Amino acid sequence: MKRLLLVPLSCCALIAAERNAPPPGPGSGPEAARQQLAALHPAEGLEISLFASEPMVVNPPNMDIDARGRIWVTEGANYRTFQKWGKLRPGGDRIVILEDTDGDGIADKQKVFYQGEDVNAALGICKLGNKLYVSRAPNILVFTDENGDDIPDKKRNSVQRFAGCRSRSRLARDGVWAGWEALLQYGERSAPDSPPRRFADH
């Protein structure tokens, strides 16, 4: 029996299909994603299929899956804004929810859970119950959806200026990858000469 390996997102250029962004180039969109898929060669016994592509989701650095099988994705359209393309999404990057409502293995529904400058190029995401943990160095944001309508009712910065984690990729890997417990374990392993960590109430 074959195991199914889903490639949920295409790794294309930082081109947003939005009103204020440049028009999509040849390296983005569903057709480009299918071409990239054809270039992948899975190991024997594995199968690859496309779950989502632009414009449903743009430059996804990280994702997590909730109890309903939906995929929560951080986007990075505003990654490396010092480059010549500058800021592609003036309203800030987004956290989007992708869902396959008819069970055919392809995302057909997208929701924007949150958009803002404080999640620009956020590299870590972890969905736990009604809370969403998002790492965007040097902070870890916690969003709470109290009534399940996929709109955050509360947002707080749970960890500010996490010691030794000025790197976005390091914070994403060590802070949110395995959940809140992993974050606390990492904090305990910080260098002795690091400045004190500032934990908000949690």
pLDDT tens figures, 94-121: 999 999 999 999 999 999 999 999 999 8
User: Rounded mean pLDDT of the chain?
Assistant: 74
> Are the CB atoms for 117 and 92 separated by under 8 Å?
yes
Its pTM stands at 0.70
Chain center to CA of 103: 23
Question: What residue type is 28 in one-letter code?
Answer: S
Q: Is the pLDDT of residue 80 over 60?
A: yes
pLDDT tens figures, 116-127: 999 998 988 999
Domain map (residue ranges) of the chain: 1-121, 123-202
Q: Residue 161: its pLDDT value, please?
A: 54
CA 147/CA 114 separation, integer angstroms: 16
Start-to-end Cα distance in the chain: 44
